[in-house]
Amino acid sequence: MSSALCKRPGLSALAFAACLAQSGAFAQEPAPAPMAGHSAMHGAMSHAQTPSPAGMPTEVGQGAFAAIGEIVALLAADPDTDWSKVDIDALRQHLVDMNAVTLQARAARTPVDGGLRFDVTGDGPVADSIRRMVLAHAAMMNGVDGWSLEAASIPGGASLIVRAPAKDAAKVEGLGFFGILALGMHHQMHHLMLARGKSF
């Protein structure tokens, strides 16, 4: 469409949109390159999202909603997805647990031989969220980098005993319970497995 036509008054909405497209106003920005150190799974998830047109909003407004949307996009893009087994409700429950533990749990630390013990407690349903999160995390991360993680249910939540090589003693102290809970890139894979209806 000519630039002269695009400047005419009274241009229809359809014609105006065509002018914008021609000028590149709706051109898609290239996806950013993955940051060094990110896992291949994290990179795959980033590239599974469709780039937004320039000048259009990209923030979905809520973290859990964004996490669900990311997984739904991956499932929809995979021709081998078995939709009869997909369980987004299970993923949502996990995200509820993550939110409850991160924002409502209390973690008391006690020194033990070679590390720290965390007694993590919460009120009402938060206690169950703590148990699910802590026991699963300990099972996944026990032995990684020579760290030992032992978890057990206690009244009101769960305990987590973390022992690490002497060189990592300050790291355990600095991370505390919530930092240790965030260690590893398995959370993203866990989300995908839960949505596919599989245990992790």
Distances (CA, A) of 145 to 116, 133, 186: 17, 20, 15
pLDDT at 198: 81
pLDDT at position 6 is 46
pLDDT at residue 141, as a whole number:
94
Domains identified in the chain, total number = 2
Give me the pLDDT at residue 10, please: 45
Residue 148 lies in a domain: yes
pLDDT given at position 52 = 58
| Rounded Cα distance, 73 and 112, in Å | 44
Beta-strand relationship, 148-154 and 115-121: unpaired
Question: What DSSP string runs through 156-195?
Answer: TEEEEEEE--GGGHHHHHHHHHHHHHT-SSHHHHHHHHHH
Per the domain annotation, does 93 fall within a domain?
Answer: yes
Q: Are residues 95 and 136 in the same domain?
A: yes
- Other beta carbons within 10 angstroms of residue 91's beta carbon come to 23
Q: Is residue 82 part of a domain?
A: no
Domain that holds residue 127: 88-195
In this structure, are 105 and 173 located in the same domain?
yes
* Predicted pLDDT of residue 200: 54
- In the sheet with 148-154, reading across from the earlier edge strand, the strands are 106-112, 115-121, 157-163, 148-154
21 and 97 within one domain: no
Question: Residue 77 corresponds to which tokens in the numbers above?
Answer: 């893009």
Per-residue b or e along 138-177, where b marks 16 or more CB atoms closer than 10 Å to that residue's CB? bebbeeeeebbbebeebebbbbbbbbbeeebeeebeebeb
Identify the three-state secondary structure at position 16. helix
* Residues in the chain, pLDDT under 50: 1-49
**End position of a domain, from candidates 12, 27, 62:** 62
Residue 190: the pLDDT is 76
pLDDT for the residue 26: 32
